[in-house]
A and B are shown apart, each in its own frame.
Chain A
Amino acid sequence: MVGLSGQTKLCPLCSAQLKKMEEISCEECGRPNLGAPAEGTCHDCVRWKKVAPWDTKAFHHRALYYYDPFIQEVLTALKYRGDVALGELFSPDLKSLGKKIGSFDFVTYIPLKEGRHWERGFNQAEVLARSFAAKPLVERVGVSSNKQSKRTREERILAMKNAFVLSVEGRKENYSGKRILIVDDIYTTGATLRSAASLFYEAGAEFVAAVTVARAVGSKARKKMK
């Protein structure tokens, strides 16, 4: 069971169990370095660079922790059990992580579809973005992300294409030459974040980056970590 000590911080016991992202091997997606020599840009990011807008635009992502069974338990308690207080634990750390990347003109988060949002009663990404002056600039359209975790990489990328539009509020802003940061809970393939990021590039943004709580690493890589 994940506990809270005091009002806002992770208790030392929980925090000792979290695996912090320290060394990174891919400058773009923040893939962790797991002993292999640094690649500069990883295989996945090289593949993305063949598709617009990534042939000309940069993508940048950093996570706080590796996605492992412990953080999975914390995020499950947040998302599915609705223990919102847990999300607020990570928000200040995400803000510091964002600062390390640079300064931003807009901060937003990955939205939920309205039905899902009602079911859950809140949006975990919005909770995580609490420490920022984040705005709901993006809106979800098309297929819901229902069983995303069960899809293959290709299926996910296809499903995520055109999954977002700028929201009513988002359409009021001018993104030309601006820097935008997007917050979400988990980075899996990056398809979700890249899909939302491409909206801002289409609207003239100069740079779009993302921060998440946890980054999934492939099963091979996970074995190496042990």
Chain B
Amino acid sequence: MRFYPIKMKAIIHSANSGNNQFFPHITEKAKEEDSWLLPEFPPYEMEKKLLNDPPPLNHDDSLLAPFLQTTPKPIIRLHDTNWYFPPPNEQFTPNPNMETYLKNRRLLIDELPFSHGEIHQHVAHGWAAYEPGITPRGRGHHCNRCGNTDPSLFANFQCFRCKDDCVYCRSCLMMGKVTGCSPLVTWKGVSGKIFSETKKHVMAWDGTLSLFQQKASDKLCTCISNFLQGKNERDHFLIWACCGSGKTEMLFHGIKLALNSGVKVLIATPRTDVVLELEPRFKQAFPDTVIHAFYGGAKERFAQGELVISTTHQLLRFHRAFDLVIIDEVDAFPYTADKKLRYAVSQARRERALTVFVTATPDDTMKREAEKGLMECAKVARRYHRHPLPEPALHWIGQWKKGLGRRRLPSKVVAFVKKHLQGNKQIFLFVPSVRVMEEVEASLKKVVDVTVGAVHSADEERREKVMAFRKGEIRVLVTTTILERGVTVKGVQVGVLGAEDRIFTESALVQIAGRAGRSPDEPTGEVIYFHHGKTNEMVKALKHIKRMNALGEEELLKEKRGGGK
């Protein structure tokens, strides 16, 4: 949409602007050359008389009239002026419903169930403000909602709202369209706290933490309490917790501490699966806390919560909202998704906030920062059941692709599968691509007489197949890296066929190995990387796991000697 940029000079000196709901209620601290953004209201609002008074488009005020006679401009073309927004007018009672929508958020007009007239009234009284949805950057654009700057993810169209050639962001289109003429609306009001800051949050979880979990939990609590007292040196904290160490429980005490200090807590993750898994666990652990989960397809999109669990995408609606941000499985998605998540977090966190990363496989940058002490770090080297992680073995299988074309699996792989089927075990077989998956599935069916299943990311029956594997109906599951995390099956044996493929990074290989030996009843399991040429990533993964095990051993020894804490 378009705005009339009116110089504050004209408003300051105009006699009747202050009495009008379309102009700032006060011109305090305004510079004469600042601009006031007067919207061109949508025609249907004028038709339906949603505005109490008609906007002063034919204002007879001689100071304002020249501005109103110009053609309004799309907001993207107004970035070179300073915009004036007044401080909140305490005499004005804002619409509480609008506050619920907008507080700590940044939303499109189209996402708000209020007329633009009413929204602008709140802007004039200093309770809301406009920001540009997209700003020019160099030769291209920057989407202020999602941080996209990739030229191939912007497109142009003839826009009815700004009557001009207009740009829109394709990167965050799923969240509603941000265009060059879309203002994003934010809330400026400070009073009228939605939640009481002295509320007592009860933790109903009464399980016990393992020695390893306890240490990480204590370290996190110290860090959070330092942060709450303004004494923290770093504002990033890494919990490097091996697969199966019970990372969610480690967070409970720290979150309780934060909630009881009246700060807002966010748990963000790239994966909807994780949000759906965490929501009931946190609701159970904190029964008196207002907890909302946001993910694509969730019914409630604009509620206010004391503890929020959100996917990366849904995070884009928040703005300067959270004091404690916990990012779960930050590495679960490739770099671009990661970049998006980081932008979303940078916008959703308060200016002063503490960010906690929780992952089994931090990337190199994060590891380096932790080592250098730029980021505080707690390592959790042992699983909840205290047994070491199964260490992978590397088996060379030569030109396996050739044989597979003739529906022949490498004999080592067949022997591995048969051995464990005889021992009545289930097998997870990871492969680098959907094509290989299909070939392996067909080849396996020729040599074994148990149920063989295969899944990949676009498989519509993914959930059903995973369920059948969990129940033991499927004995061998051939899968792409999509199941590298999250799926836990008791007594499962793990193979990677074609481990030299680029898709199997250190992080993927560590996560895959982490599928084995999860259950305390069967804490061991075989993990084999079948390959045609050892890669760096394979070596790094092996080293990673061995180091974790050694560290765990060391800490257990310390505990025996009585110096555990």
Residue positions of A touching B, CB distance < 8 A: 81-85, 114-115, 117-123, 126-127
For A86, the closest partner residue in chain B by CB is: B155
Of the listed stretches B158-166, B317-325, B354-362, B423-431, chain A binds: B158-166
A121 and B179 in contact (CB under 8 A), knowing A114-B43, A114-B44, A126-B158? yes
Given contacts A84-B155, A118-B161, A120-B160, 18 further A-B contacts (CB under 8 A): A81-B174, A83-B170, A83-B173, A84-B157, A85-B157, A118-B43, A118-B44, A118-B160, A121-B157, A121-B159, A121-B160, A121-B161, A121-B177, A122-B158, A122-B159, A123-B160, A126-B158, A127-B158
**Nearest 5 interchain pairs by C-beta:** A115-B44, A84-B157, A85-B155, A82-B177, A118-B42
8 pairs from A and B in contact (CB 8 Å cutoff)? A83-B173, A84-B155, A114-B43, A115-B42, A118-B160, A121-B166, A122-B159, A122-B160
A121 to B110 CA separation, bound complex (whole angstroms):
11
Say whether B47 faces chain A, with CB atoms less than 8 Å apart: yes
Residues of chain A with a CB closer than 8 A to B187's CB: none
For A7, the closest partner residue in chain B by CB is: B152
Contact B43 A81 (CB under 8 A): no
A80 to B168 CA separation, bound complex (whole angstroms):
14
Residue positions of B touching A, CB distance < 8 A: 42-44, 47, 110, 155, 157-161, 166, 168, 170, 173-174, 177, 179
A82 and B173 in contact (CB under 8 A), knowing A115-B43, A115-B44, A118-B44? yes
Residues of chain B with a CB closer than 8 A to A118's CB: 42-44, 160-161
A120 to B160 CA separation, bound complex (whole angstroms):
8
Contact B177 A81 (CB under 8 A): yes
For A80, the closest partner residue in chain B by CB is: B177
A83 to B158 CA separation, bound complex (whole angstroms):
12
A84 to B173 CA separation, bound complex (whole angstroms):
11
Contact A115 B159 (CB under 8 A): no
A120 to B157 CA separation, bound complex (whole angstroms):
12
A207 to B179 CA separation, bound complex (whole angstroms):
39
Contact B170 A85 (CB under 8 A): yes
Residues of chain A with a CB closer than 8 A to B43's CB: 114-115, 118
A84 to B159 CA separation, bound complex (whole angstroms):
10
A118 to B110 CA separation, bound complex (whole angstroms):
11
Residues of chain A with a CB closer than 8 A to B158's CB: 122, 126-127
For B161, the closest partner residue in chain A by CB is: A121
Residues of chain B with a CB closer than 8 A to A81's CB: 173-174, 177
A151 to B157 CA separation, bound complex (whole angstroms):
32
For A114, the closest partner residue in chain B by CB is: B43
For B159, the closest partner residue in chain A by CB is: A121
A120 to B110 CA separation, bound complex (whole angstroms):
10
Residues of chain B with a CB closer than 8 A to A120's CB: 160
Residue from the set B155, B160, B161, B170 with the largest chain A CB neighbour count within 10 Å: B160
For B48, the closest partner residue in chain A by CB is: A115
For A6, the closest partner residue in chain B by CB is: B152
Residues of chain A with a CB closer than 8 A to B166's CB: 121
Q: How far is the CB of A200 from chain B (nearest CB, A)?
A: 24
Q: How far is the CB of B135 from chain A (nearest CB, A)?
A: 19
For B181, the closest partner residue in chain A by CB is: A121
For A112, the closest partner residue in chain B by CB is: B160
For A117, the closest partner residue in chain B by CB is: B160
Residues of chain B with a CB closer than 8 A to A83's CB: 155, 170, 173
For A130, the closest partner residue in chain B by CB is: B158
For A126, the closest partner residue in chain B by CB is: B158
Q: How far is the CB of B112 from chain A (nearest CB, A)?
A: 13
Residues of chain A with a CB closer than 8 A to B179's CB: 121
For B162, the closest partner residue in chain A by CB is: A121
Residues of chain A with a CB closer than 8 A to B160's CB: 117-118, 120-123
A82 to B175 CA separation, bound complex (whole angstroms):
11
A84 to B166 CA separation, bound complex (whole angstroms):
11
Q: How far is the CB of B150 from chain A (nearest CB, A)?
A: 13
For A77, the closest partner residue in chain B by CB is: B173
A127 to B168 CA separation, bound complex (whole angstroms):
15
Q: How far is the CB of B292 from chain A (nearest CB, A)?
A: 24
Contact A84 B174 (CB under 8 A): no
Q: How far is the CB of A37 from chain B (nearest CB, A)?
A: 37
Contact residue among A82, A115, A117 (Cβ-Cβ distance under 8 Å from B168): A82
A120 to B161 CA separation, bound complex (whole angstroms):
9
A127 to B160 CA separation, bound complex (whole angstroms):
12
Q: How far is the CB of A10 from chain B (nearest CB, A)?
A: 15
Residues of chain A with a CB closer than 8 A to B42's CB: 115, 118
For B174, the closest partner residue in chain A by CB is: A81
A84 and B44 in contact (CB under 8 A), knowing A121-B159, A122-B157? no
